[in-house]
Chains A and B, each alone.
Chain A
């Protein structure tokens, strides 16, 4: 690798030296920043601005100058419901189904996942033999690609799959897991807990290990029961980490797409269609491509994510200061 990179770096050095002579050392910082800022500007900040124009225009043309201005009509389409609780009463019922699915999914997934991650972290924090091994066992699914995760479980859950064979064997009988709407939803929650739990376990374990040992020794001296020690020492001292984990999990949960799309395709029906899939399908998968609706929905998701991220940054800052 260095054989290719070294000459390249030498070539870059020539214009950089000229710039250094021209600008002076301190202003050269901007040159170092330039590529990164250019990429951020072009692929992060500019899109945010353009997203507003898309959300205020209609038609299926991707070129902004060819899109008629429609004002807030995209948002009206998305939000006109007789009752927000019942997607059937909405014009854009698929959007609301996706919203409600996402809300349910995020609640269940984050709750279950953080719960199990905490339990796993607490167990791993005990004097466990081969802790490194167990830790990596729980962690490795994090590295698998979403499509691979989806296919692994699809293969296990198919009608004549190994899970049904096992259930047959113990006499319960098999199910069409991914054809039944409620089971499919439950399995998407399971799948995403399975795939991401290790990541949060790792963070929580680090948080647990940061709790000083002598606090526990003092509790032991005072003959505090293990349950009391957990409630009065572990949980309060772990709560900053817990908060970080919760917010991170929420941010990622709202954006769930890949593994579910490959796993159920959003089905059966719209049972497992989440909000990002709705955006993808409106904007890119179907014809006509309703970029306006997709952008308007993106904007609504972005608002939620910005709020969550601000909370995350605020917690981080507080943790650092405190």
Chain B
């Protein structure tokens, strides 16, 4: 606690708070709330049962009605606390409900059946995680299929992109050849052509190549990016030419120089690009939406989007699926956030 206080009070004026400090920290903590609460709320909600999700006003933590195993019954029975009537204050288990009446038993004394009015009782509830929201995804939906599709696209597209972009960046940074400036201009030119403005012809080309409704149709068209070429080229230029010359003296082939020397030395830039590529591909939406029309080819993003239409009321599955979709990215972020920040700042996003 003392630590926390000293963290909060330390300012540039050595402990003296002026109003700007108050404003700054208030703003920041408001920001923390606004940025974190929605995600925390999503995660907590995803552990609620369908009945609990429909409760209004909602509770913060997921609750479930407590149950009890009573001798002589196979199923666990829901527990109620009596608030009025003959049994006020007692906790009883419900056998069945008949209209406005319910048949209850005292778990301690299961032989005796008690009839009570349903107005005289309230359910006993405890904090419990509805893990069935998650397990249900694997049983009821093709969740693993979507997960696999997303993973396959992300991994394959990232690898292809790294290789293709690194090769181009190598050529553009380490060779003197006629037409190099033209190629660089062409690469800059592609910056001006985002997928969003060439959707129709891109659709034709992909379908002519027979890649419609195939994961390759999502992977290949975006496999070369101008951002990647520039990012890697910028880094490769800093690798001294002497290393290459030494390797050439030793009769290393150009490909070997690329693969054994340039790529390992560019690892930091490649790591940044890899993280960006993973993020773009995992979160990609519009182009997969156009290419993949059969649900067995859906990525997680497409599946989520189509389920929210179909399952308007089935929030429990939808929320669990949303959490599982953001989990891999959250994991990447936790471990690599330093690279992500520098990577994005240096490339200006996409």
Chain A interface (Cβ < 8 Å from any Cβ of B) = 9, 12-13, 16-17, 20, 25-30, 32-33, 35-37, 39-40, 42-51, 54, 62-64, 119-120, 123-124, 126-130, 134-148, 151-156, 160-162, 165, 168-169, 194, 199, 202-203, 206, 226, 244, 248, 252, 255, 257-258, 261-262, 276, 279-280, 283-284, 291, 294-295, 298-299, 301-302, 305-306, 309-310, 313
Q: With A283-B200, A284-B203, A301-B196 in contact, is A148–B31 under 8 Å at CB? A: no
Residues of A within 8 A of B255 (CB): 9, 12-13, 16-17, 20
9 residue pairs, one from A and one from B, having the closest CB atoms: A50-B201, A36-B168, A47-B198, A39-B224, A145-B283, A165-B57, A29-B175, A32-B171, A16-B255
Proximity string of chain B (200-212) to chain A, C-beta cutoff 8 Å, 1 when within and 0 when not: 1111110100000
Q: Does B36 contact A (CB under 8 A)?
A: yes
In the complex, the answer to whether B286 meets A13 with C-beta atoms within 8 Å is: no
In the complex, the answer to whether B199 meets A284 with C-beta atoms within 8 Å is: yes
Selected from A32, A47, A136, A206, the residue in CB contact (under 8 A) with B170 is A32
CA distance A27 to B178 in the complex (A): 9
Q: Does B128 contact A (CB under 8 A)?
A: no
Selected from A129, A161, A280, the residue in CB contact (under 8 A) with B7 is A129
In the complex, the answer to whether B41 meets A62 with C-beta atoms within 8 Å is: no
Chain B interface (Cβ < 8 Å from any Cβ of A) = 7-8, 10-12, 20, 24-25, 27-28, 31-32, 34-36, 38-39, 41-42, 45, 54, 56-58, 163-165, 167-168, 170-172, 175-177, 180, 183, 186-194, 196-205, 207, 220-224, 229, 248, 253-256, 258-259, 279, 282-283, 285-286, 289-290, 301, 304-305, 308, 315, 318-319, 322, 325-326, 329-330, 332-333, 337, 340-341, 344-345, 348-349
Closest A-chain residue to B26, C-beta based? A123
Q: With A16-B253, A206-B345, A291-B200 in contact, is A138–B168 under 8 Å at CB? A: no
Residues of B within 8 A of A283 (CB): 199-200, 203
Residues of B within 8 A of A148 (CB): 304, 322, 325-326
What's the nearest-Cβ distance from chain B to residue A314, in Å? 12
In the complex, the answer to whether B224 meets A36 with C-beta atoms within 8 Å is: yes
CA distance A250 to B244 in the complex (A): 42
In the complex, the answer to whether A134 meets B286 with C-beta atoms within 8 Å is: no
Jot down 17 A-B pairs with beta carbons below 8 A, ordered by A.
A12-B255, A16-B253, A25-B175, A33-B183, A39-B220, A43-B221, A123-B28, A128-B24, A137-B36, A139-B337, A148-B322, A152-B39, A162-B41, A165-B58, A262-B308, A284-B203, A309-B191
Closest B-chain residue to A16, C-beta based? B255
What's the nearest-Cβ distance from chain A to residue B340, in Å? 7
In the complex, the answer to whether A138 meets B35 with C-beta atoms within 8 Å is: yes
Residues of B within 8 A of A46 (CB): 201, 205
In the complex, the answer to whether B199 meets A279 with C-beta atoms within 8 Å is: yes
CA distance A39 to B258 in the complex (A): 20
Closest B-chain residue to A52, C-beta based? B201
Residues of A within 8 A of B254 (CB): 16, 20, 25, 28
What's the nearest-Cβ distance from chain B to residue A158, in Å? 8
In the complex, the answer to whether B259 meets A13 with C-beta atoms within 8 Å is: yes
CA distance A143 to B224 in the complex (A): 21
What's the nearest-Cβ distance from chain B to residue A111, in Å? 19
Q: What would 17 more interface pairs be, CB under 8 Å, given A226-B20, A283-B199?
A: A13-B256, A26-B176, A29-B175, A32-B258, A44-B198, A128-B28, A136-B337, A137-B31, A138-B35, A143-B330, A144-B329, A146-B285, A152-B322, A280-B289, A284-B289, A294-B199, A309-B192
